[in-house]
Amino acid sequence: MSTRRETPTQLAWKRLRKNTGAMVGIVILLLMVLGAVAAPLITPFSPTTQILEYAVQPAGFRGSVLYRTNPSNPGAPSVIAVQDFAVRGDSVYYTDPAGEPYRLALTSLAGRDSTEWHARPLFLLGTDRFGRDMFTRLVYGMRVSLTVGLISQGIALLIGIVLGSIAGYFRGWIDDVVMWLVNVVWSFPTLLLVVAFSVILGKGYWQTFVAIGISSWVDIARIVRGQFFAIREQEYIEATRALGYGSLRTMFRHMLPNAAGPVVVLATAGFATAIIAESSLSFIGLGVQPPDPSWGQMIKDGYGYIALGTNWGMTLFPSAAMATAVIALNLFGDGLRDALDPKTSQR
């Protein structure tokens, strides 16, 4: 009776599951992805909502707010901080946190009764200097970081795989030209190159993706080129030539899948590097621009409070989030490397 043989993918997954560090990294990454996707559902405010009366509040602070209709944006009501309020007739009388009395018409509030237009939100991680909820900005900043890492690595993989495949397969003068380009790009520090491209492309969201992506393909190209050098002489590649297959089919259908292991591992490390690069750009003002949330921008905003010895959380929380994401990616990458290399693990 014959038994069904497991595929290489199934064997790699079996080895990966036995790696505790890799599984911890996967769980952390999945939680971050779920948090980023469900950000509007798990956060109390928009990341740009400012409540100036609640500026620089500590973690665990609970406020009291009224929601007022915003004619210019009906889906995002204005937020008014209050100490207390009372409904009298067709109006709401309230005092603000400074003790000043005010009155609002009930028809101007966003809701039918106080259960809809009044809330006592918990600022889990406190607020920043503009009264924006730190937890909300942290979650939306996580969305930015993961998106930057994914798209920039996609760009780097596209450039690196194409150039590395061409150089490794055709060799000769084509390999010389590609390696000359690799050496030129490799001669610059990656972060300096990212900054240079950011200055050329301008400040903004998509510019950050492109700047990091076109600065991070060199290692991928070198790895793919080296793998293609070894694979090119295998017998099954000679068979594809004998069958008359074209170069593109041979490279991307038969050779590239067999070189994918090291590239996937390198991409996970590049993902972590991209998150750090995006935060670095935002910290110096060249990445995602305010008021959009970014971990690097949050660290910059809270940096001055460390010197004052107050509100350390404004810098600590985004720094810890970034460190957690990078560690999780490195744990996953190390486990993936071991799982894809049969020599490092017994079946």
What's the average model confidence in pLDDT over 168-183?
92
Residue 151: CB atoms within 10 A of its CB come to 17
* pLDDT bracket for residue 66 (50, 70, 90): very high
| Summary mean pLDDT of the chain | 88
Render pLDDT for 103-134 as a digit per residue (tens, 0 to 9).
Answer: 999 989 988 888 889 999 999 999 999 999 99
How far is the C-alpha of 7 from the C-alpha of 234, rounded, in Å?
A: 21
Tell me the pLDDT tens digit for each residue of 187-202: 888 888 888 888 888 8
The model's pLDDT over 24-43, given as tens digits with 9 standing for 90+, comes to 999 999 999 999 999 999 99
**1, pLDDT greater than 80:** no
Q: What is the pLDDT of residue 74?
A: 74
Tell the CATH superfamily of the 8-38+134-344 domain: MetI-like (1.10.3720.10)
| Dihedral sign, Cα of residue 268, residue 270, residue 272, residue 274 | negative
The pLDDT score that the predictor gives to residue 50 is 92
Q: Which pLDDT score, from 0 to 100, does residue 347 have? A: 42
Q: Where are the domains of the chain?
A: 8-38+134-344, 64-120
Q: What integer is the mean pLDDT of 207-224?
A: 90
Q: In sequence order, which residues have a C-beta less than 8 Å from that of residue 50 and are 6 or more positions away? A: 130, 131, 132
